[in-house]
Amino acid sequence: MTMTLDDKRTQLSVLNQGVGACRACPLGTQRTRAVPGEGPIDAEIMLIGEAPGYYEDQQGRPFVGAAGQFLETLLASIGLKRTDVFIANVIKCRPPQNRDPLPEEIGACSHWLDEQLGIINAKVVVTLGRYSLQRFLPGNPIGRVHGQGRKANGIWVVPMYHPAAALHQGSLRRTIEEDFRKIPGYLAEARREAQSEPAQPALAAATAAPQVEQIPLF
């Protein structure tokens, strides 16, 4: 059954409260603030990063530091504002010293992202960085698949380098700029499919073991 926008708002509000109270892994006692994610309840595009950093932990919002500013520049290059997309991370609490998230932390946190995906039901998921990529397309190296959208379990997944990495490497910056410009094409394809196919069920539950159904179009 299709959820109304009010249903979605209610479910997301409950989810945000749950994330705020979560202590399912040790990061829950080390964070300043949990960072569940933010954006329109009916967003067509979800951007999924890795984990909150220092500024995100302070403010409880995703992508608010330098990488966030670059992300806003990238979105502007395709005519979007950050308020047009839903932004979240694979894990919702900051790892100490911004270290990589541990497998057990990712495992403990994965149901929150599953639930967000199910509520928002976006047409395109953009993965930012390798941890997000592995969440949706495990076994695919970012260097080989960046910018190449693939349909996994009924949703278009478009892998990108993480904006923070691109900030520090000029060549990656150009690459992510070029990759971002492909997003509207994948969104257009997803919209075409949505018009020609019956409504799909919520996509989140199946993302842990995706089946890649199509090879890149662009």
In the complex, the residues that contact ligand SF4 under the rule CB under 6 A are 19, 22-25, 27-28, 34, 91-93, 105, 108-109, 112
CA gap 80, 48 in Å, rounded = 16
Which CB, 103 or 198, lies closer to ligand SF4? Answer: 103
Cβ of residue 81: shortest distance to ligand SF4, in angstroms? 27
Length of the chain: 218
CA gap 93, 56 in Å, rounded = 9
Find out whether 101 and 50 touch, Cβ atoms under 8 Å: yes
Cβ of residue 67: shortest distance to ligand SF4, in angstroms? 19
Which CB, 67 or 91, lies closer to ligand SF4? Answer: 91
CA gap 151, 165 in Å, rounded = 25
Which CB, 114 or 179, lies closer to ligand SF4? Answer: 114
Tokens (6 digits) for 75 = 């979105």
Indicate the residue whose CB is closest to ligand SF4.
Answer: 28
Cβ of residue 185: shortest distance to ligand SF4, in angstroms? 33
Exposed/middle/buried for residue 94 (C-beta within 10 Å: 0-12, 13-18, 19+): buried
Cβ of residue 189: shortest distance to ligand SF4, in angstroms? 32
Which CB, 12 or 187, lies closer to ligand SF4? Answer: 12
